[in-house]
Structure 1
Amino acid sequence: MIGCLSLYCGYVLLSLPHRSFEDVTASTLPQHRGSAYYRALGMRAAARGDLALAHRAAQLETKAAPNAPAAWHRLAHAAAAQNGAPDREALGALLQAYAVAPYVTPSEMEWRVAFAATYWNAVPDSLLRLTVSQIDAMGTIEQSWEVRQHWCRTLPDGALADAACATTPNIQRR
């Protein structure tokens, strides 16, 4: 019983400085936590506008879960949000997400397309080709018809719009 009590006390002592997410800043972010901790912290930080903390939490989440494409998506988003546009880190994170999982859930595919559409001018051709492959894959998913139809009508002219329109026969562009 004493062993369990001392183990519990040790846990409490180690966690005292950061009992709540509100106490954590980018410079005081605890190391060596699980990916779920960093994901929750980063999402909460982003919601309250603390982009530096959201970015640092996303970096640590990718270290804790390097094979999770959603973690790489969060890092790409956080880096782009903090810098106002995707930088080398954001684009590298998105490339890593594709390397880890070329095809993901439909909602994650939608996120990838939305990211590329938002930052169209900053996304290199290699990422645009990967994004087109997401749209092509979504063409086989009946539930994605409405979003592909929307993309066909609203995406800027170019490869993404062409891919969306190719998967939505009989839909007129704008």
Structure 2
Amino acid sequence: MAAQRFVSFALAAFLLAAACASVWYLIDEFQTQHLRRAGIAEIVFPETPPELASADRLDALATRALQTAPWQLDFAKSATQLSIAKNPRRISNWNRVVYIDVAENGQPTDAGINAIEESFFRSPFGEIEDMQWRLEFTNAYWASMPDDIKAQSLAQVTAIADDWRARRWLREFGKTSQPEITVRIERALAAID
């Protein structure tokens, strides 16, 4: 009888915990979608990023914090670091670390270089938008990029060229890119055309 009561109590506690977790997840997802869709004037930023938020919500908060005028760099940086701690595989977070590093310092520091290396490590290719952003970034700071980052950036060109939707962007980008990148773009597009 006592064992049966314990099992019933344990099952009820488990179901209650699962229900609470489901409600938390739904609220977090609703807030995340609101952040992504709302006009920037509609978003109320907390003083500090919520530690219990999901990595996705923190990512959205950090992204939107950089769309405010003036930018909320400290908030974006904190939200990004929390999101990385929860899910280090999100490439947008590593790219944002690089972006914030340059915004704070005017050029990439060791922290920014480490973050772009982490971005490439976590997702050597990935989404077209991520590859385009990394290529634009490395092009802008080509002289200060280590050789391995340059090589990975050049590999992005070939991957972007394989996506027919991104070829137009690549052609336009090649008109103003660094000579090494332009040569790779021309070769990649010639191999496809």
C-alpha deviations, 1:48-70, integer Å up to 9, x for none?
21112212221221111111222
Q: Which one-letter code corresponds to 2:124 in the other structure?
A: P
3-state SS, counterpart of residue 22 of structure 1: coil
Does the 8 A contact of 1:62 with 1:75 survive in 2?
A: no
2:135 corresponds in structure 1 to 113
Aligned partners of 1:91, 1:101: CA distance in 2, in Å? 15
2:64 corresponds in structure 1 to 44
Aligned partners of 1:103, 1:30: CA distance in 2, in Å? 31
C-alpha deviations, 1:111-170, integer Å up to 9, x for none?
11011112222221111110001001122222221111112211132x222211212339
CA 1:65–1:139: 2 relative to 1, 3 Å: same
Give how far 1:29 is off: 3.4
Residue 163 (str. 1) matches residue 164 (str. 2)? no
Does the 8 A contact of 1:42 with 1:57 survive in 2?
A: yes
Does the 8 A contact of 1:152 with 1:168 survive in 2?
A: no
Unaligned 5+ segments in structure 2 are: 1-15, 25-42
Give how far 1:98 is off: 1.2
1:63 corresponds in structure 2 to 85
RMSD: 2.3
Structure 1 stretches of 4+ with a deviation exceeding 4 A read none
Give how far 1:21 is off: 4.2
Give how far 1:31 is off: 2.7
2:123 corresponds in structure 1 to 101
Q: Which one-letter code corresponds to 1:163 in the other structure?
A: R
Does the 8 A contact of 1:33 with 1:64 survive in 2?
A: no
CA 1:21–1:122: 2 relative to 1, 3 Å: farther
The percent identity for this pair of structures is 21
1:15 corresponds in structure 2 to none
* Structure 1 range deviating more: 54-63 or 29-38: 29-38
Aligned partners of 2:130, 2:161: CA distance in 1, in Å? 15
3-state SS, counterpart of residue 169 of structure 1: helix
- The structure whose Rg is larger is 2
1:33 corresponds in structure 2 to 53
Q: After superposition, where does 1:63-142 map in structure 2 within 5 Å?
A: 63-142=85-164
Residue 23 (str. 1) matches residue 46 (str. 2)? yes
Aligned partners of 2:121, 2:111: CA distance in 1, in Å? 15
1:152 corresponds in structure 2 to 174
Does the 8 A contact of 1:112 with 1:131 survive in 2?
A: yes
TM-score, length of structure 2 as denominator length = 0.69
Higher helix share: 2
Aligned partners of 1:99, 1:67: CA distance in 2, in Å? 10
Does the 8 A contact of 2:49 with 2:58 survive in 1?
A: no
CA 1:93–1:21: 2 relative to 1, 3 Å: farther
Aligned partners of 2:100, 2:82: CA distance in 1, in Å? 12
Residue 143 (str. 1) matches residue 165 (str. 2)? yes
